[in-house]
């Protein structure tokens, strides 16, 4: 014996309502748990993940900058000419 169409609709509605209530409860509770964990781990104190990553990173950290020097600024401003640039860099720190 099976379930007819009305039984399936009622079962779907009940399951949907239970999931909606569960989601409504879990959203603020989960948010509080996540905020608590973040506040605990972000502090730079010995024993936290943030401190361990701050003391020694997994890889070397470099910043690279490229500067482009406009070679024809007057022509660009007066005639709307194509910009001619010369690359400077990369400057690595």
pLDDT tens per residue, range 67-84: 999 999 999 888 888 999
CB 63 within 8 A of CB 93: yes
pLDDT tens per residue, range 42-51: 888 888 888 8
pTM of the model: 0.40
CA distance 52 to 42: 11
Q: What is the pLDDT of residue 2?
A: 66
In Å, how far are 2, 3, 17, 33, 82 from 7, measured between CA atoms? 9, 6, 15, 38, 71
pLDDT tens per residue, range 22-32: 999 999 898 99
Q: What is the pLDDT of residue 47?
A: 83
Q: What is the pLDDT of residue 1?
A: 52
Q: What is the pLDDT of residue 76?
A: 87
Q: What is the pLDDT of residue 80?
A: 84
């Amino acid at each position: 014996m099976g379930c007819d169409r009305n039984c399936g609709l009622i079962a779907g509605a009940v399951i949907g309502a239970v999931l909606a209530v569960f989601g409504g409860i879990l959203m603020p509770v989960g948010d509080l748990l996540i905020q608590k964990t973040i506040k605990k781990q972000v502090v730079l104190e010995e024993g936290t993940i943030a401190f361990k990553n701050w003391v020694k990173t997994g890889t070397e950290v470099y910043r690279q900058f490229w500067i482009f020097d406009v070679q024809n600024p007057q022509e660009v401003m007066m005639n709307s000419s194509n910009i001619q640039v010369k690359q400077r860099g990369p400057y690595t720190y």
